[in-house]
Each structure stands twice: as C-alpha cells, then as structure tokens.
Amino acid sequence: MSAMEVDDLLNGRGMGLARAAELSGYPGPRHVLDLAGELSLSEPVARETQAIFERMQVAAKKIGAEIVALESELGRAFIERTIDAPTVDARTREIAGREGELRAVHLRAHVELTALLSPQQIAAYNALRGYAVEPLEAQGAPREASPHEQHHAGP
C-alpha cells in the first residue's frame, strides 16, 4: 500500500468510496460541514451533521486500521515466502470484506445526512460541488407511474 493509502485509511477519509451517493444527490458530511454557511444550515442540523461525521470517522478509522494490518500481514507472507493459494484466497476475502464494510460506513453516512437536508440545500450542495444531478428517468432508469397514471392505464 502507498503511504497515502495508509494515511487515508487510518484517518477515515472517503477515498471516493461514497461516489455513488455523492454523484446521485446524497451529500457527504465532511463537505456539508465545509459548506455549512453556503447551505444555511440551522444549528441543530449542523450539530447532527457533525455527529454523523464523527460516528462515520470512528467506524472508518477502526476498519481502516484493520485493513492496513491485514494488508501488512499479506505483504509479509509474500516477503517471507510463506504464502500459498489458499492463504491468498482467505486473506484477500477477509480484506475485501473489510473494504466492503468501510464503503458501507461512508455510504450510510450520506444516506443518513440526506434525510436531514432540505431539497433546496441538496440542490445548493450539488451546485456548489459542481454536480448536475438529473432525475432518474433522465438517466434512463425506469420510474414508477404516478397514482393518476396508474388509474388511467389500460388493462
């Protein structure tokens, strides 16, 4: 692992793990805190955003440290030439599992935070971050028919 990767993992940084959320209109807590003034966050929302960020950081740092340790063990096994195919399989599965947990920590924080923000704040966030979030149907995703459309749909 590079020194930057280790530093990012040990410090709970996102490293693009929540890109799916970020680019789909689910703001991230660190960036919302950085843009609190521009987003006109109320004091209660700012406090809860900080709490979400702190919970995310605690969990991300713990998992990040586990990933660094597991990667170190894997690297050491190669250096010492004690590695074999079953060990590669077991260790990489374990690392991948932790990486999945880390990504989920970051994604959950985006989901939790989005529930706190108004549609106007989310739109402002997207604009400030340079994102053009389109409605799902504009992205080619199917949308559900409205109750009015369902009522008037033929059999």
- 42 three-class SS: coil
Torsions phi, psi of 148, nearest 5? -65, -45
Predicted confidence band at 129 (pLDDT cuts at 50, 70, 90)?
A: very high
Give the span between the Cα atoms of 97 and 63, in whole angstroms: 10
Question: What is d(CA 145, CA 147) in angstroms, rounded to the nearest whole number?
Answer: 6
Condensed to tens digits (0 to 9), the pLDDT of residues 59-115 reads 999 999 999 999 999 999 999 999 999 999 999 999 999 999 999 999 999 999 999
- Report residue 131's pLDDT band, with 50, 70 and 90 as the boundaries: confident
Q: CB of 32 within 8 A of CB of 122?
A: no
pLDDT surpasses 70 at 54: yes
pLDDT band at 153, cuts 50/70/90?
A: very low
Which tokens sit at 16? Answer: 């693009």
pLDDT the model gives residue 136: 46
pLDDT score of 75: 96
Looking at the chain, the whole-number percentage of residues with pLDDT higher than 90 is: 80
Rounded to two decimals, the pTM is 0.80
Pull the structure tokens for residue 28. 């991230």
Q: What is the dihedral of CA 85, 89, 94, 95, to 10 degrees?
A: 80
Q: What percent of the chain has pLDDT over 70?
A: 85
Answer whether residue 23 shows pLDDT above 60. yes
134 Cβ contact partners less than 8 Å away, ≥ 6 residues apart: none
